[in-house]
């Protein structure tokens, strides 16, 4: 998925059109996410610890909140949506050039016009249009990338999903399966999914656990066992650490709307990755 999350919650802050003849400057760290369509010109985006990202004319680009980055471009024109979100989104710049570029050009222009005119109900109309844009982005992204570009990584990813709760699943075993070094595997995985392997695995495990807990059909002990945890105390600590709620608190939410799993998964340092039982580093 382009945005990592299955569903993106968005609170629009502004929709702007920007033009310039030449820019070579630092954008800085901004408190909002930005999704843009580059209507004219090409650009290069630079951020610390990441490879430069090309943003050619006709491309859609996402820049996460809090990322300090710089841009370099000649003549250019973009439409950008600044928004806040509680969803789990990529923590680096993601950019791609969709096939149906005229569709995105028209939709971004329309969204900008609606936002600027501010007629009655424009907030609702803007949110609806933005949601349609997000949906089309995910459709194009899926069509352009029906499988992982790296077949070795694709094979490891299939194995990961099939053996998600196996005790002998480890990052090192996935590296060996791909014939990659640990560093290169993590780099390629993050480039494909916008998450480290550890965070990706924890997110899937948490999503399954919460869905089972809120189904009302299983006890906490049964959910722990189904998710590959042989120690219920360890399972409870894992769920609470990753979501902020205990398994019992999740079960109490049975008759409440289930939160988006991306909202449950909090930023967690890699050193907190569970070692036993479950996935191990070595």
Contact 82, 108 (CB under 8 A): no
Strand-pair partners of 37? 60, 79
Report d(CA 155, CA 31) in Å as an integer: 38
**pLDDT tens digits, residue range 41-71?**
999 999 887 788 999 999 999 999 999 998 8
pLDDT at residue 93, as a whole number? 92
Contact 77, 36 (CB under 8 A): no
pLDDT at residue 49, as a whole number? 75
Report d(CA 189, CA 154) in Å as an integer: 10
**pLDDT tens digits, residue range 227-252?**
888 889 999 999 999 888 899 888 88
Report the topology of domain 151-272. Arc Repressor Mutant, subunit A (1.10.10)
Q: Where are the domains of the chain?
A: 11-144, 151-272
The answer to which of 9-13, 16-20, 82-86, 206-210 has the lowest mean pLDDT is 206-210
**pLDDT tens digits, residue range 117-145?**
999 999 999 999 999 999 999 888 877 65
Residue 75 has pLDDT above 80, yes or no: yes
Alpha carbon distance, N-terminus to C-terminus of the chain: 28
Say which residue the tokens 């392997």 belong to.
197
**What Å distances lie between residue 112 and 35, 54, 104, 120, CA to CA?**
12, 24, 12, 15
The hierarchical CATH code for the domain 11-144 is 2.60.120.280
What is the value of pTM for the model shown? Answer: 0.57
Q: How confident is the model at residue 277 (pLDDT cuts 50, 70, 90)?
A: very low
**pLDDT tens digits, residue range 149-165?**
567 887 888 888 888 88
């Amino acid at each position: 998925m382009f945005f990592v999350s299955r569903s993106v919650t968005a609170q629009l802050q502004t929709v702007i059109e920007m033009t310039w003849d030449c820019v070579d400057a630092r954008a800085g760290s901004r408190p909002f996410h930005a999704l843009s369509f580059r209507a004219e010109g090409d650009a290069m985006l630079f951020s610390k610890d990441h490879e430069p990202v090309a943003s050619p004319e006709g491309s859609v680009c996402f820049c996460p909140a809090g990322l300090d980055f710089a841009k370099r471009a000649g003549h250019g024109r973009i439409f950008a949506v600044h928004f806040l979100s509680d969803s789990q989104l990529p923590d680096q710049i993601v950019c791609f050039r969709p096939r149906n570029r005229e569709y995105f050009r028209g939709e971004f222009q329309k969204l900008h016009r609606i936002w600027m005119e501010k007629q009655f109900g424009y907030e609702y109309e803007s949110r609806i249009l933005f949601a349609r844009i997000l949906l089309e982005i995910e459709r194009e992204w899926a069509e352009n990338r029906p499988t992982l570009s790296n077949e070795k990584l694709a094979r490891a990813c299939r194995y990961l999903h099939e053996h998600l709760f196996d005790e002998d699943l480890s990052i090192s075993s996935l590296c060996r399966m791909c014939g990659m070094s640990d560093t290169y595997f993590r780099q390629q995985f993050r480039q494909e999914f916008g998450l480290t392997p550890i965070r990706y695995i924890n997110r899937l495990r948490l999503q399954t656990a919460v869905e089972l807990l809120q189904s009302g059909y299983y006890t906490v002990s049964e959910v722990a066992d189904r998710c590959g945890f042989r120690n219920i105390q360890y399972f409870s600590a894992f769920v609470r650490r990753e979501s902020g709620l205990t398994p019992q608190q999740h079960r109490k939410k049975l008759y409440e709307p289930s939160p988006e799993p991306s909202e449950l998964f909090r930023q967690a340092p890699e050193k907190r990755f569970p070692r036993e039982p479950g996935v191990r580093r070595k």
